[in-house]
Amino acid sequence: MQLLNKKLLQAFVEKYADARLQIGAWVAEIEEAKWDTHHQLKNRYPRASILKNRHVIFNICGNRYRLWVQISYKSGVVVIKNVGTHKEYDNWNID
C-alpha cells in the first residue's frame, strides 16, 4: 500500500516518543501490505475499527493513541487523516 501524509506521524512521534517504535512498525507493515478488502485488513489488525467511507481507526500503544486513515483498496493508497491521544480522538469529526 502507498502511505500518504506521513508528516503527521513524524510530528506525532516527536511529541510522543513512546509511540515511535509502534508507529514505525505500523508504517513498515502498511507499506508492505497488499489489501483488496477490509476483511484482509481485519485479519492482520482485528482490533482496528472499520468505519464508513473506507475510514479505519487503529489503536496504538495499547489504545493510548489513535491513528485515523482512509483506505482506497482499489488504488492501494492509505491516507493518514489524523493521529492523537485517545482524548483527542473523542473530538475528531470523522466523516
Whole-number Å distance between alpha carbons of 51 and 78: 14
**Rounded average pLDDT over 14-35:** 97
Query: Rounded to two decimals, what is the model's pTM?
Result: 0.93
CATH of 2-86, one of 3.30.420, 4.10.280, 3.30.2310, 3.40.1350: 3.30.2310
Closest CA to 89 of 66, 63, 55: 66
**What is the structure's pLDDT at 58?**
97
* Dist. CA 47–CA 3, nearest whole Å: 20
What's the grid cell of residue 45? 489488525
pLDDT of residue 70: 97
pLDDT at 71: 97
Strands, DSSP E only, in the chain?
2-4, 49-50, 55-60, 65-72, 77-85
Residue 86 banded pLDDT, cuts 50, 70, 90: confident
**pLDDT tens for each residue of 27-81:** 999 999 999 999 999 999 999 999 999 999 999 999 999 999 999 999 999 999 9
Does residue 95 have a pLDDT over 80?
A: no
Q: How many CB atoms lie within 10 A of CB 70?
A: 18
